[in-house]
Amino acid sequence: MIVLTINGQDRQIDAPDEMPLLWVLRDIVGLTGTKFGCGIAQCGACTVHLDGQPVRSCVLPVASAVGKKITTIEGIGATDIGKRVQQAWLGIEVVQCGYCQSGQIMSATALLAEKPSPTDADIDTAMSGNLCRCGTYVRIRAAIKQAATGQATLPQTIA
């Protein structure tokens, strides 16, 4: 048995040390907001935070998350920055199929936590590890700027 701290709650988990955190979250804890996309840290769909740092949970052995604060998409809205990012995502309507967006939002939130006013180059560096097959990249960039500045960057959606 190991103890994981997920979104502020301690959980007793029975899992092998080397099992990737992704599958602990999805198949044991039942938090399915964190997505499986590639299994080899190429797509970013599985991004979660470990003590605020973005990690690819599909290749992170669960043992290395013990004693650290795990934050998933289900918990990111409880942080100021996470909430702002989610609101910007809604305001300019980033999502299409939505499958990759958990990971995108986790990467974007970590970026803004470290760099409150990111440049385009900062956004490139932080977000280039997150694939989106629907091609929502233009709006992801705009939403990060909107979350950073509070200024609307594109026509806002209504209703």
Partner 1 sequence: MTSFVRPAHDDADLPNPSRRELLKRGGLVVAFMWLGGATRVLGLDNSTRIGENHPLFAPNAFVRVGNDGSVQLVMPNVEMGQGVYTAQAMLLAEELDVGLDQITVEHAPPNRKLYLNPLLGDQATGGSTTVRYCWTALRDAGAAARYMLVNAAAQRWKVDPSQCTVARGVVTHAPTGRTLPYGELADAAAKVTPPEKAPLKDPKDFQLIGKPMRRVDSSGKVDGSLIFGLDVRVPGMKIATVRACPTFGGRLASVDDSHARSIPGVLRVLKIDNAVAVVGEHYWAAKQGLDALVIQWDRGANAHLSTEQFFADMAHASEHGKPIVAKEVGHPDGAKGKTISSTYELPLLAHATMEPINALVHVRPDACDVWVGSQVVARCADIAAKVTGLPPESITIHNQYLGGGFGRRLFEESVGQAVAFGKQVDYPIKVVWTREEDIAQDCYRPAYYDRISATLDDNGKPVAWTHRTTGASVLASFAPPAMGKNGLDPDLVECAADLPYAIPNLRSEWVRHDFPEGMRVGWWRGVGPTHNVMVVESFVDELAHAAGKDPVAYRREILGEDPRVRGVLDLATEKAGWGKETLPPRHGRGIALAAPFGSYLCVIVDVEVSPQGVVSLKRAVAAVDCGIVVNPNTVEAQIQGGLVFGWSAALYSGITLKQGAVEQRNFNDYRVMRLNETPPIEVHIVPSKEKPGGIGEPGTVMAMAALTNAIFAATGVRLRKLPIDTSLLVKDKGALNEVLSATAPVDGAPANARNLS
Residues between 56 and 95 that touch partner 1 (CB under 8 A): 56, 59-60, 64, 72-74, 77, 86, 89-90, 93-95
Tell the smallest beta-carbon distance from residue 10 to partner 1 (Å): 20
Q: Considering the rule CB under 8 A, would residue 43 count as an interface residue with partner 1?
A: yes
Give whichever of 19 and 66 is closer to partner 1, judged by the CB atom: 19
Q: Choose, by CB under 8 A, the member of 2, 5, 11, 39 that binds partner 1.
A: 39
Cα–Cα separations (whole angstroms), residue 61 to 14, 26, 83, 120: 13, 14, 28, 32
The residues facing 48 across adjacent strands are 55
Q: What minimum distance in Å lies between the beta carbon of 3 and partner 1?
A: 19
With CA atoms as reference, report the closest residue to 119 among 94, 149, 98, 96.
149
| Residue 31 interacts with partner 1 (CB under 8 A): yes or no | yes
Site membership for partner 1, residue 158 (CB under 8 A): yes
CA–CA gap between residue 83 and residue 97 (Å, rounded):
21
